[in-house]
Amino acid sequence: MDALSRLLSLHPVRADLDIRCRFGQPWNLPNPALPAGVAPYHFILEGRAQLQLPDGAPLSLQAGDLVILTRGAAHDLFIAPAAEASAVRLGETAAPVTLHVNDEEGGGSQPLSDFLCGQFHFDAPHSNALMHALPEVLLVRSAELPDADGLRTLATLLRHECGGADGRGELRAGAQAVVAGLAAALFGLAVRAWLAGGGPQPGLLALLAHPALQSAMQAMLESPEEDWPLPRLAGLCHMSRATFVRRFQEVGGATPGEVLQQLRMARAARLLSYSKMGTAQIGEAVGYQSEAAFNRVFKKYSGLGPGAYRRRSRAAEVEEEEGRG
């Protein structure tokens, strides 16, 4: 498994595709602020739009653009300011994968706007480290990506599953399950494209992308249970210890020890959620010989002891399955 895949696997994301909108008239879609760990996204399939945060100038979006609000900020998505457009309110009435919410193609003064709206959910507390390694507004323009990039292919697949090119087709059998899986892939493709564009700000992703430091990051990702003293990590990067520590903190916004602990606790959280291993086994699997030491660090990191975290995670999984049923 490559380093980015390892990192993303430690930060599981649930994806919802809430609605597909098709408008031919001036429109304005207000989006309220969302709680921590929920990141709304908009994927422009056709036409154009503007995205307005409370502060700053509007951001112009065009066909093929995927924008993710990683901090869940309130924002407006529109083709015309609210005073000139019909406000569209979804939230209370939108069902998953609702199609052609407003199919006003004829007689409008605006070209057709066709886009998908959804949310990424990062339920694990350790995912904060990943989200803060991303910009508040993560924008990927697929028109600037290579022709074979997966984001373009995914847009075609999503459009097909959500009623076809015109949004009027019936949902095929299993469409909601397929759409949920495709929507989850959007996040990984967005992060990969953003990294390729050279955008990282201080954090985990910047370390992964930094040519001089990525060897240390990859080693810790591959084997977080191992002992990683500073001389060993510095040697992997062909640096002196002092130079390595200084540059690592500049790029990562944390010390090597802090990042290693983040990776260990993220892996422990995954094992608690999805494996049958006992607490002592999990502690050993992430580098702790003492179960008491592991329990203490995990509770400080997540706010819950390992047992309580496992129970909460399993309960949430059952609730999600019942909701899908």
47: left (phi over 0), alpha (psi -120 to 50) or beta: left
The one-character DSSP state at 167 is S
Q: What phi and psi, each to the nearest 5 degrees, are found at residue 190? A: -65, -45
Residue 65 CB contacts under 8 Å (≥ 6 apart), including other chains? 43, 44, 139, 140, 141, 142, 143
Burial class (CB in 10 A: 0-12, 13-18, 19+), 157: middle
Residue 142's SS3 state is helix
Q: What is the pLDDT of residue 11?
A: 86
Where exactly does CATH 1.10.10.60 map onto the chain?
204-317
- What CA–CA distance (Å, rounded) separates 40 from 303? 25
| Structural Rg of the chain based on CA atoms | 22
275 in Cβ contact with 282 (< 8 Å): yes
CATH class of 204-317: mainly alpha
Segment-wise mean pLDDT, segments of 10 residues, the chain, 325 residues = 86 85 83 93 92 92 94 90 55 40 46 87 81 90 81 84 65 76 88 81 88 95 95 97 96 95 93 93 95 95 91 78 56
- What CA–CA distance (Å, rounded) separates 47 from 113? 5
Residue 163's SS3 state is coil
Length of the chain (residues)? 325
Q: Which two tokens stand for residue 221?
A: 């990702």
- What CA–CA distance (Å, rounded) separates 234 from 239? 5
74 in Cβ contact with 32 (< 8 Å): yes
Q: What is the pLDDT of residue 271?
A: 94
Instruction: List the CATH code of the domain at 13-196.
Output: 2.60.120.10
Where exactly does CATH 2.60.120.10 map onto the chain?
13-196
Q: For strand 27-31 and strand 86-87, is the pairing parallel, antiparallel, or unpaired?
A: parallel
Q: Which two tokens stand for residue 160?
A: 């097909």
Question: CA distances (Å), 125 to each of 129, 239, 266, 273, 302, in order?
Answer: 9, 33, 9, 13, 6
pTM reported for the whole predicted model: 0.82
3-state secondary structure 189-220: HHHHHHHHCCCCCCCHHHHHHCCCCHHHHHHH
Q: What is the pLDDT of residue 41?
A: 95
Q: Can you name the residues that pair with 138 across neighbouring β-strands?
A: 68
Return the number of other C-beta atoms located less than 10 Å from residue 146's C-beta.
11
